[in-house]
Amino acid sequence: MYSAAIARFPWLEWTGDFRLAYLPSDGGLAPLAWIVLCRSSTGPERPEVYVDAHAGEIAGTRDTMRYADANVYDPNPVADPTGPHRVTLPNLTSTTRLEGTYARSASCNPGTGWDYCSSTTRYASPDVSGHYLYSPTEPSTTDPFSEVMGYYHLDKINDFMGDTYGVNMMCNGHRWIAAMMNMNMDNAMYGDADEDGCADVTIGQGTHDFGYDAAVIYHEFGHGLNRTQVDFEYWDFDGLGPDWSASGLDEGSADYWAASMSGRPVVGEYASTGTTPGELGFRDLSEFVTCPQGLYGESHYDSPIWSTTLWQIRSTLGQFKTDSLLFDALASMASTADFSSAGSALISAANALEPGVLTAADVTQVETAVADHTLVGCIRVVPLGDEDSHIFIATGYGGYDVPSGVQFSVTTPENTTRLTVRFDQLTVGGGYTVFMNRGAPVHFTRSGWDLTIDDYDYEYSGSPANVSYTGWSDPLIEPGTTYYFTYMHNSDAMMLGVSVDIIVTPVPDSTTDTIEDTTPDTIEDTVADVPADTVGDTITDTPAEPDPAPDTSEDTVVDTGTDPGTITESGGCGCSIAS
């Protein structure tokens, strides 16, 4: 199909976009042809080449490129405070709409219930000169500037990924993806919102218009990039309970694509202002997050374990090498991968890319980053010690009891006398039950979608504010034991703060005790230890008398002929010296 086009026009490259259609005809039968979209190696042209579907011959060509200027933020108003700036919208195929080879943009029509964007309306149209020079208007669900932002940035990342890495997200024979802007909901998503069989990037409104933040558009497109390699499960189950790791890897990879494309480690820096952290919460990939300390039990909160690892690698290896590494690592992962297996996949992918894309030194950098973030071998149990605190999140659906996806453990020292674990419900609604097991994590058994806790020592219902173990509690404190905890809730989602206090018996200083207990006092030591007036009276008024019966038994002090255990004073008071 496309070989005929390339043979005829060797300066063209196939973009991966093609479709079968009947060509316009002045009369007679309209020829059936493959319409092959190409790019020129000598300029910005994007010609369509028509190849007769029966004869395999060139039936014609057409330059699809259209150009228009527009105002955009690049990447967002925080990083671009003097914007918006005038740019050229590339790859347009329409002179009247924001439609092109790699992107199309329109606004969501408000629906009812959960129907936020099943159909669209276009509010952006070119001026008399063919340009889209709109100014920002927020909040608004009819904002044409947001539509322009959607087209510009979706075109940018879709074109880049195809040109640089050969990742062509085809659907129904085309490569363009719809940007569905101005959704009346403080969220953003990747999926088939309009149910046309092709995935879309749908961008909503919060305190700020999320469409003004390019990283949000890149992030949602990033979910599509992930799916070209692996279709991560939303969640999974194992003996520790529900597992959100695969979803966390999906979110972390999407964050990485957004940061890598913009060249900035922050995601959602404009969109997240004034909104609840979560899908569009502010995340900084330059932070240092490790596993399991970075686990909370919710995919967006857990994702920095993975994304900060990738950004550390990118900071050393650069964009091309790290992007290539991530594509290969994702391709080798299971849909239910966790952070440990993902770390191993990164190392394996790095070794497979050396020599060639990576050097031996690059592979070492990848291994170092994976070790720094303690990915390999990480399990979903967060160890807590004295005065430590953490937040755990149980994500579920109203009316159903759902356990947290992450447990925590506390190991008591041998001289522990009290262990107290305090709980602080940080979200409104619902209650929780705490489960504790000693020596091993609380264990779950799965049957279909049902989880049963089948191994635990104690259950604390009624949303307890704390649980405490002492020498008189039930159960008794067990020094030198590891306690494991998890909780079950019956709310849509619950954040539970946890803090730990451990009280121990001070260990005596053995060196000091030995000196005090075994070194005998001489008479001079005794005198020195008695108050001054008493000592003076004793020495001056009562001379020492000879011992009529010297101690012949073995003493811990030298026998001086006087009793070192008593000093007699004229007042008759006896002052004893401890032996």
Q: Three-class SS string for 35-74?
A: EEEEEECCCCCCEEEEEECCCCCEEEEEECCEEEEEEECC
The two three-digit tokens of residue 398, written as one number: 């109203």
Residues present in the chain in total:
579
The residues with which 72 forms a beta bridge, in sequence order, are: 85
Structure tokens belonging to residue 280: 């569009």
The first and second tokens of residue 189, run together, are 């998503």
Q: What pLDDT, on a 0 to 100 scale, did the predictor assign at position 547?
A: 47
- Please tell me the distance from the alpha carbon of residue 486 to that of residue 239, in angstroms, as a whole number: 12
User: What is the pLDDT at residue 441?
Assistant: 97
**Per-residue confidence (pLDDT) for residue 562, from 0 to 100:** 38
How far apart, in whole angstroms, are the C-alpha atoms of residue 103 and residue 180? 10
**Tokens 């994590």 appear where?**
441
For residues 395, 398, 402, 408, the Cα torsion angle rounded to the nearest 10 degrees is 50
Three-state secondary structure call for residue 147: helix
- Using the CB atoms, write b or e for 468-478: b if 16+ within 10 Å: ebeeeeeeebe
| DSSP letter, residue 335 | T
pLDDT of residue 34: 82
pTM: 0.78
- 196 to 52, 184, 191, 218: CA distances (angstroms): 28, 21, 11, 22
Instruction: Look at residue 487 and give its three-state secondary structure.
Output: strand
For every one of its 579 residues, what pLDDT tens digit does the chain have, with 9 covering 90 and above?
A: 556 555 666 766 766 677 777 766 655 556 788 888 777 776 656 677 878 777 777 777 776 667 899 999 999 999 999 999 999 999 999 999 999 999 999 999 877 666 788 889 999 999 999 999 999 998 899 999 999 999 999 999 999 999 999 999 999 989 999 999 999 888 899 999 888 899 999 999 878 899 999 999 999 999 999 999 999 998 899 999 999 999 999 999 999 999 999 999 999 989 887 554 444 468 999 999 999 999 999 999 999 999 999 999 999 999 999 999 999 999 999 999 999 999 999 999 999 999 999 999 999 999 999 999 999 999 999 999 999 999 998 876 555 678 888 999 999 999 999 999 999 998 877 789 999 999 999 999 988 877 889 999 999 999 999 999 999 999 999 999 999 999 988 776 788 999 999 999 886 655 544 444 444 444 444 434 444 444 344 434 444 444 444 444 444 333 434 333 333 333 333 332 233
CA–CA dist 44, 268 (Å, integer)? 32
Quickly count helices (H) and strands (E) in the chain: 12, 29
CB 203 within 8 A of CB 279: no
**Residues 382-412, buried b or exposed e (16+ Cβ, 10 A)?**
bebeeebebebbbbbeeeebbbbbbbbbbeb
Give the C-alpha separation, 231 to 305, whole Å.
Answer: 20
